[in-house]
A and B are shown apart, each in its own frame.
Chain A
C-alpha cells in the first residue's frame, strides 16, 4: 500500500498537517494561557491601584465599616502577631477607636463608591480591605462569608500570587499594603482554567477531524492528479511494436502530467516512425536479396532437371556468379549502412589534397567510360584541401561517376569539376544521360529506391549507392544535391567544407 505515490503523498500531507496542528495547538494554548493570566494580573493590579486612589486621599477619614454578617478574619497566631507588630509598629499611628464622626461619614462615602464600582465588575471579582491591624474595613458582596486576608502582604507593592482561596478554590490574588490599609483583590483561577480547558478540548476534537479530512482529501487529490499517470502506465504496458499507433489521451492542461503525456506520445510517434523505417528497410532489403536468390535457385534447379549442353551449364554458372557478386555487393553496402546507422562506421579523417584524388578518379573514369565510348571531361580542378576520409571520399566520387556512366548513352559526355568556393570544395559530376524525373529526385537518396528498377538491376545497381554517398557526404559535414532534365542529363553536386593552408576550417 505504501508503495504507491498516492499513499506516500497522502501520508506526507497528513503527517505535516498533524504536526502543524499539534504545534499550533500547543502555541495557541500556551499563549492563550499566558495572555489570560497577564490580562487577569493587569486588571487585578488596576483594581488595586484604583482602590488605592480612592482610599488614599481620604484615608484619614476611614473607619471600619460595620461587620455585617461577616466573621472576623482568622485570628493571627501569637507568633504572627508578634512578628507583624515588630515590623509594623512604627507606622501605626492611630487605632480604630480614634476615628471621629466626620471621618466615619467620609469613610462611608468611600465604601459606597467602592460598592458602586463592584457592580460594574464581574461578580467573580473578590475585594477585601482591612486596616493595618487586619481588621476588616470593606468586603465585596461576592465574598459572602469568606475572607481574603492573607499574610505577607508587601508594603507599597502589589504582590500577585495564585493561592488556595475560600471554599478550596484556587484564586489569583493581588494584595498590597500602604500606610493606612491592606487591599486584597482576587479572581477565581477556575474561570481561566475552564476557558483553557474548553480551548484544549476544541483542539482535541478538531485535530483528529482535520487529520481525517486531510487523509480523505489528500487521498482523493492524489488519486485525481495521479490518475493520468496510471493511464500512461497502462498504455505503455500495452504498447508493442505492433500497435505503436496507440496514444495517451492528451489533456489541454499544460501541467506536469500533461507534459508527461505529450512527451510520451511524441516518443511513441518517433518510435513508430523509426519502426516503420526499419520495417520498410527490412522489406526492401529482403526483396533485394530474394531476387538474386530466386534466380540462382531457379537456374540451378532447371539445370538439374534434365541434361543440358555444356554451354548451357557454363551460361548458368556465369549467371549464378553474377548473382553471387550482386548479393555480395548488396550485403557489403548494407553492412556499411548499418554501421553508419549505429554510429560505428569509423572514418579516418585526415588532411587531404582533393585535387590529387580528383585527378586519379578522372583517370579511372576515362577507363570505365571506354566500353561505351563516353567522353569524360575534366573541368576546373582547383587546389582544395579538405579534412576527410580518403577511402570514403573516393568511394563517394566513384559512385557518382559510375552512376553517370551507367545512365549516359553511348558517345555521351560526363564532365567532372572541382572548385574552391567560399570555404568549401564543390564537386560536380555532370552527365548527358537519361535524367531523373522530378518526382523521383527527392527519393533517389533513399535506400533501395530506384527510378527504373529493371534498368538499375540490369546495370548491376544495388539500390544503395546513392544512400551510401549521402551518408559519406553527411559524415563530412557537407551537402549533396541533384539537378536534372529528363532525357538531357543530370548534375550531382557535392559540397564539403574545405581547409585553408593552416589546416583550419576556412
Chain B
C-alpha cells in the first residue's frame, strides 16, 4: 500500500511518514502543493494525506485538480483548519475524510485503514483467503491454527495481494505499491520476496494460494 503525504511542515511530514512506514506502508512526501499535485496525478497511490495550507498551491486546489483529472484515490485532509465551514468545503471538494491537527497517530492510522477498506469488498480489518487470515491492525498472519511470522515487506506484499485477490498483479504495479522511488526495477528483488512469502504461507498447506502467471506476474487465488 503506497501513501502520498502532502505536508509543508517538515517535522509533521517526517513523523507521519515514520508512523506509516512502521505500519508497512510505502510513503512518498511532497512539501508543497505543486509537487503534491504532480505526484498525485501519477495515480499510483492507494491514499493521499493532504494538508490544506500549503505553499505555492492550496490543498483544496490540489484536491479539485486531481478530482478534475479523474483521480479517485481516497484523500484524507489533515489540517489545522477546524471550523465546520472548512470541513464542509474540504469534503465537498472531493475529500473522503478530514482530521484536524493536532491529532493522535492511532486515529490517523485507523482512518487510513478505514479509507483503504472502503475501496474493497472486504469491510473487516481481517483479510481472508481460504484459511489464511491477515489482521491489518496487529499485522499478524495465520494459516489454519499456525501463526506465520512476516517481515515488514512480506506483510506489505501479502496485504496488497489479499486486497487484490484473484487479480493478476504485474511486477511494475507491485513495485509501485510496495516500494518507494529508490526501488530499482532492474533487479529480481520482487521475485525473491514473493518466493519467501510463498514458502511461509503455502508450504505444508493446501490449497496453494500464491501462483506465478508466467510472463505477466503473480496472483493470489481464493476460489
Contacts and interface: CB of A to CB of B under 8 A. Distances in A.
A434 to B, nearest CB: 14
Interface of B: 8-12, 15-16, 18-19, 22, 31-32, 53, 55, 80-83, 101-106
A302 B55 contact: no
10 contacts: A287-B81, A294-B102, A297-B104, A298-B15, A301-B106, A302-B22, A305-B105, A323-B11, A454-B9, A457-B9
A294 B105 contact: no
A115 B162 CA distance: 147
B102 A297 contact: yes
A422 B104 CA distance: 59
A294 B106 CA distance: 13
B11 A295 contact: yes
A458 B13 CA distance: 13
A294 B80 contact: yes
Given A286-B80, A287-B53, A302-B19, 11 more contacts: A294-B9, A294-B12, A294-B102, A295-B15, A298-B102, A298-B105, A301-B105, A302-B22, A319-B11, A454-B32, A458-B10
Contacts of A457: 9
Nearest to B55: A454
B55 A293 contact: no
A302 B103 CA distance: 12
A305 B102 CA distance: 17
Among A296, A319, A454: residue with most chain B CB under 10 A: A454
Contacts of B101: 290-291, 293-294
A310 interface: no
B22 A306 contact: yes
Contacts of B102: 290, 293-294, 296-298
B80 A291 contact: yes
B19 A291 contact: no
A452 B104 CA distance: 28
B151 to A, nearest CB: 15
Nearest to A457: B9
Pairs of residues from A and B, 4 with the lowest C-beta to C-beta distance, nearest first? A294-B102, A294-B101, A290-B80, A298-B15
B59 to A, nearest CB: 13
Contact of A299 (B15, B31, B80, B106): B15
Interface string A435-466: 00000000000000000111001100000000
Contacts of A296: 102
Contacts of A291: 9, 12, 80, 101
Nearest to B109: A305
B130 to A, nearest CB: 31
Nearest to A320: B11
Nearest to B19: A302
Contacts of A453: 8, 53, 55
Contacts of B19: 298, 301-302, 305
Interface in A271-319: 283, 286-287, 290-291, 293-299, 301-302, 305-306, 319
Nearest to A316: B15
A33 to B, nearest CB: 83
A41 to B, nearest CB: 95
Contacts of B15: 295, 298-299, 302
Given A295-B12, A299-B11, A454 B22 contact: no
B20 to A, nearest CB: 10
A294 B22 contact: no
Contacts of A319: 11
Interface string A346-385: 0000000000000000000000000000000000000000
A287 B12 CA distance: 14
B80 A301 contact: no
A183 B19 CA distance: 138
Contacts of A283: 81, 83
B99 to A, nearest CB: 11
Contacts of B104: 297, 301
B16 A298 contact: yes
B9 A295 contact: yes
Nearest to A458: B10
A446 to B, nearest CB: 16
Which of A283, A287, A301, A458 has the largest number of chain B CB atoms within 10 A? A301
Interface in A316-338: 319, 323
Interface in A21-35: none
Contact of A302 (B9, B18, B81, B82): B18
A291 B55 CA distance: 15
B8, B9, B53: most-surrounded residue (chain A CB, <10 A): B9
Contacts of A301: 19, 104-106
A296 B16 CA distance: 12
A437 to B, nearest CB: 13
Contacts of B18: 302
Contacts of A452: 55
B31 to A, nearest CB: 7
**B10, B55, B80: which has the most chain A beta carbons within 10 Å?**
B80
Q: Which of A294, A296, A305 has the most CB of B within 10 A?
A: A294
A359 B81 CA distance: 45
Interface string A468-506: 000000000000000000000000000000000000000
A55 B102 CA distance: 129
Contacts of A306: 22
Nearest to B23: A305
Contacts of A299: 11, 15
A290 B99 CA distance: 13
A497 to B, nearest CB: 40
A294 B53 CA distance: 14
Contacts of B22: 302, 305-306
A276 to B, nearest CB: 14
A273 to B, nearest CB: 20
Nearest to A295: B11
A302 B11 contact: no
B48 to A, nearest CB: 18
Contacts of B105: 298, 301-302, 305
Nearest to A452: B55
A297 B107 CA distance: 12
Contacts of B106: 301
A296 B105 CA distance: 12
A136 B147 CA distance: 162
Nearest to A290: B80
A418 to B, nearest CB: 36
Contacts of B8: 453-454
